[in-house]
Amino acid sequence: MSSEDAAAAGGSAGQADPDADHENALQDVIAVDPDDVEQGTVNRLDAHTGDGIRHRAFTCLVYDTDDRILLAQRAPTKRLWDAHWDGTVASHPVEGQSQADATEQRLEEELGITPDQYDDLRVTDKFEYKRYYPNEGVEWEVCSVLKVTLDDASLDPDEEEIGGMLWVDYEHLHENPSLYRQLRLCPWFEIAMRRDFS
């Protein structure tokens, strides 16, 4: 698991909100304080528009046995960071769901990765960040970082979620950002990677 003011926040009087029927408007996320203590649930679209609402999220870094990381390109239909490259999936747990359970669910939904392909899913870090995505919305998250190494790297990506995939050497990616700049990495992944090597 960054915009300037959300055009989504509104339209002129008498006009329908263009995002009112967006799928995110039908979901909730968990609002949290800076220490990741739950503050109730909030509408997912509300959490990602205007100045945003701080909420719980996760990103999972998926590796193979050669220490390569799987970069997954977000589908072009995503509201925020469409067509950007993530390492590897990012989302939000729902109320009552652990980060590990939410991650396991998203790995299977987005990439077809099932629990029998790994046995070391673990939380390795947590940080807060806020980033605006021009004219579309904002991410303001307390983001847990999870890692997993695939014993079996078979993938079955959902085209509605994933635009492309690329295995890269993780250390080389970190040490040579200029070589990968054209990929346009998601901000939460860049933060997670920078902290990983600090």
In this structure, is residue 105 part of a structural domain?
yes
Q: Which domain holds residue 96?
A: 7-196
User: pLDDT-derived band of residue 198, with 50, 70 and 90 as boundaries?
Assistant: confident
In this structure, is residue 2 part of a structural domain?
no
Confirm if 88 and 69 have CB atoms less than 8 A apart.
Answer: yes
User: pLDDT-derived band of residue 193, with 50, 70 and 90 as boundaries?
Assistant: very high
Distances (CA, A) of 61 to 37, 52, 115, 152, 189: 24, 25, 15, 15, 9
pTM: 0.83
Among the listed residues 31, 48, 54, the one whose alpha carbon sits nearest the alpha carbon of residue 128: 54
Mean pLDDT estimate for the chain: 87
**Per-residue pLDDT tens over the stretch 104-161:** 999 999 999 999 999 999 999 999 999 998 878 999 999 999 999 999 999 999 999 9
In this structure, is residue 112 part of a structural domain?
yes
Active-site option among 110, 136, 139, 141: 141
**Per-residue pLDDT tens over the stretch 36-48:** 999 999 999 999 9
Q: State the CATH number of the domain containing residue 174.
A: 3.90.79.10
More confident residue, 21 or 119: 119
Q: For position 17, what pLDDT does the model report?
A: 40
In this structure, is residue 1 part of a structural domain?
no
Q: Residue length, the chain?
A: 198
Distances (CA, A) of 188 to 1, 3, 15, 74, 197: 6, 13, 34, 13, 15
CA distance 47 to 129: 14
Bridging pattern class, strands 68-74 and 85-86: antiparallel
pLDDT of residue 9 exceeding 50, the answer is no
Q: How many domains does the chain have?
A: 1
Is 109 a residue of the active site? no
CA distance 196 to 79: 27
